[in-house]
Homo-oligomer: A and B are copies of this chain.
Amino acid sequence: MDDIDRKIAALLSDDARASLAQIGAVVGLSTSAVNDRLRRLIERGVIRRMSADIAPEAVGLPVTGFVWVALAPVADEGAFRAAMAQLPRVTACHHVTGPWSYLVQIRAASLDAVEDFLSELKSGGWIARSETMLALSTVVEPPFRYRG
């Protein structure tokens, strides 16, 4: 993992369809050398996937919500995590420091859909308490992976 590997990672982060020749021209390596490095970057898990970044509004998901979750004392934390990982509307879920256990970020079609999500959480019996915030506008946003 040297500077050239990092440069390749940054280039492909910007354009996953860049050819080996194009990358080579930028980093000053032959296509073969770039091919070798790319193979290793994928094998070692440095590059997880090549993904199209979809505009969420364009697929009917204009609402971004942040849900603070305090888990119920009896909750099966593993099951909670598995459930979050499976839901396509959950774009992020972190165990965090501070007064709350988890921060869950979602994309939703509407405020009604946000409410439905909260109902699902509650009916699952996982949460003791929650607090929801909505994004009014977005300055920087990570790529959005549309999982259907």
A86-121 interface mask toward B, CB cutoff 8 Å, 1 = contact, 0 = none? 000011111111100011000000000000000000
Number of copies: 2
Contact call A144/B142, Cβ cutoff below 8 A: yes
Which chain B residue shows the least CB distance to A139? Answer: B93
Please tell me which one of the listed residues B14, B92, B141 contacts residue A141 in the complex, with CB atoms under 8 A apart.
Answer: B92
Contact call A135/B96, Cβ cutoff below 8 A: yes
Contact call A10/B147, Cβ cutoff below 8 A: yes
Which chain B residue shows the least CB distance to A17? Answer: B50
Please tell me which one of the listed residues B17, B91, B131 contacts residue A16 in the complex, with CB atoms under 8 A apart.
Answer: B17
Which chain B residue shows the least CB distance to A80? Answer: B139
Q: Does any Cβ of B come within 8 Å of A45's Cβ?
A: yes
Contact call B96/A16, Cβ cutoff below 8 A: no
Residues of A in contact (CB 8 Å), total 58
Neighbouring B residues of A148 by C-beta, 8 Å: 6-7, 10
Contact call B85/A52, Cβ cutoff below 8 A: no
Q: Does any Cβ of B come within 8 Å of A15's Cβ?
A: yes
Neighbouring B residues of A70 by C-beta, 8 Å: none
Complex CA gap A97/B68 in Å reads: 13
Binding site for B on A (CB under 8 A): 1, 6-7, 9-10, 12-17, 44-55, 58-59, 64, 66, 81, 84-85, 90-98, 102-103, 131, 133-148
The 8 A-B residue pairs whose C-beta atoms are closest, nearest first, are A12-B52, A16-B50, A93-B139, A142-B142, A94-B135, A46-B58, A93-B140, A143-B143
